[in-house]
Structure 1
Amino acid sequence: MNSRSIQNDLLNYTLNNSNHDTKRNYISMSHIHLPVDNLIDIYKKGFETSPEIKLKCYKGYQMERDILIRLKKIYGDKIKTDIEYHSGFVKGHPDFEIENIPGDCKSVLMDEWLPTNHIPKKVYWQMQGYLYLSKKLKGFLIYESRET
């Protein structure tokens, strides 16, 4: 065994366990910001994938899981996970609910990418979808930077 084989094994493990879905049997709330033609294309053909996308997903999901663990340690049973909102072919999976209010966790690479005045359009519409399907007027959005 050498350092190159360890590097390759670790990379392959990470790619194979990234939790990046290439296809879903529904239209995901996380893509609801896209034009209808794109949504239909993704529904029929699946998601674009690459090693870079899978590595990004792995790290993002890892950070989101960590936030949820901390929230559960703070709020205990008030935090609900494994939530699904749906209406026909459209589904959304917010990361958590607290007191029946949907919440989502987002991770960014650097502090300068943390939203200050406005959240990205993609995230805005994703949250609007969660609010619509849950019939709520407010939600929680938690951002965390890998840098701090």
Structure 2
Amino acid sequence: MSDADRDARDDAVLALLRAVRDFGDAHDRMTGSMKHGMDMNVTDLAALRLLIMREDQGVAVTPADIARHLRISTASTTTLLDRLEAADHIVRAPHPTDRRARVVHLTDHARAEFFRLFSTRLTAMREAIGGFSDEELRAATRVLDATASALDPD
């Protein structure tokens, strides 16, 4: 590879890293406005986002899963779940296969509030990426997946 090719490659990598940084900043600002709209803190919103993601995947979520995902203690997780349950955002239920465990589900109220606040942004994101080819979207997905794994290898 020539020096010019290396320089062009470095420029392209730096441009992408800047775009990832800018995306992270935009996501943080969106999360900030959503937490105010739902009257909750960032950790509460992150727990709801985890529940929504896992619900989409058809995966049950336990309090231990939430603690690991958020990297908080089990005591803090209990406090978090108590707060979300009191606000009618979650319900705790017996685990379907492990009688000792519990699972956490979103309430219809929380799901409706989350999507009420997020739907405008989701529509805007769909419109923003709608003009890209399938190949470009697959490449972007690979880039974002690789970047997420690099940021959070656990």
Larger C-alpha radius of gyration, 1 or 2? 2
What is the TM-score when the length of structure 1 is the normalising length?
0.30
Relative contact order (alpha carbons < 8 A, sep ≥ 6): 1 or 2 greater? 1
Larger helix proportion of the pair: 2
Larger strand proportion of the pair: 1
